[in-house]
Structure 1
């Protein structure tokens, strides 16, 4: 936080437990509107959980993980190459909107090697040096504008220097207990994310642009979901897939895609929760009030196989069961938690 306030953009990383320990500081960054990038390399949880296995169970933590209303941006990388480009995008958003930005990755991406074309750094990189240009006057928290801090040491010619704290504040950063001002500042912090949503491009739909089923994913499930949609289309299914990189705020325009499909199925590596929906599905159902959104989830610590996705989406369809599999022969029929009745039903990691 101190590094970012000094005029340099700070980047820090951890897994879910480390993020939990820093939740109060993340709330402070939201209140003070400090640009900051936080990388969460997700693995199985909670607590120490499955420290070397993959999971996507920190989405709600990234969006809501602090006390009070503390808006922040949440992005999710889809591949190793995307980890590079999404970091650049996170830096742009953090600086432009003076906000904490989460980048969600996971064990699958963090331990994977992929080759991609070498980026042209001369076109991508920006000068990170702080701007110490003197200002005649300066208000860091104008009600009607997006906050932009100046680095400490910048000369303010009228002699009125702003304050920075985790307390609610006025336009100069001075602490206030005014109910009306707190409401106005809360709306200001919220509305800048709404403005960001207006500039986020709507993700493309792969495959059929309308039909029976739309698969929706985020993070490292990109490859298996893409291949599952491709294979299902080859079998005559009217199916498309859509992958979200911007999860909070969601891009405007998704509401025009949902009506084109009879089913919308999120594919996620997290638990179905008390109400039967994965974490992304819960967000989408709350945002769009769309009852046809459902989810296929799992928490075995392993990445999705194409067969698992097709079996989950098209239960009982023969083509999903006829996909050839390489490796160890299947020794179980269902790893769903509800089907484990005794220790003998638990399948060792990596088997099947």
Structure 2
């Protein structure tokens, strides 16, 4: 049995020959995907990626210069090492060279900031971070009120944000409970949603597709399960999608609707075209048109809806919706069947 200090066996060496290249590939695998800031699909994310690579290159340049010069004067040409050489190393390698490189990086970053603050030319959308989901309202009018709350009105939705391709959409961010952080890594940097305050973020997507967003500020038990989707569409498709979101529910006559209302679900949720007009929880008018359920944690299908209705806390810890375990399974299935048809 090998002990500390023994030379590695041939089998161990062969194993590391396979493990080491694989370990090097893991960071590269994170450079692409629907939630990668290094695979930009927006103007701000593109700048962030550019700054990352510029800073990585600048840091590598400083490291190579300092280490290379140190190795040269201490190992390759030790005879050239002297007190004067040490002073030169400190002054040029440790002071002048890093200041020049870092100064360039500071200039490069600050010079790009005015462009990120350009006015929007697209829709105005309000997004409220709430434990533990995202309230969305399209085409909101007016400015935030005296209490610094988000404007009222607009087309209500939840957990999925549609954006027009190539337009600068203004996102108004707020929260009624605790601090959250709205982040779509592939499109833009993160911005906090703060109670009593409205922050603005401009999103300018440059590529159509579906991208993942997350809450990037710890906000409680289900923080890690507070995701959302951003769907970027050509402008005509975006307008059609928002118009569809503004319409009433696709199915208003169904036994599931009657059970939904009878058990008080309409006190918390709205379904336009029915008597349900609650505003505590997500708007469910077009629930089945969304890609996921529970802010990104379940697929959108009837089985998942029934599971969530039965016991939300078992699916998502911290969910404030009460469980309906006391209902007969047939009634839960009927409610889920109705909600699963609201496209």
TM-score per shorter chain, which class? under 0.3
Q: TM-score, normalised by structure 1?
A: 0.24
Higher helix proportion (structure 1 or 2): 2
Question: Which entry has the higher C-alpha Rg, 1 or 2?
Answer: 2
Q: TM-score, normalised by structure 2?
A: 0.24
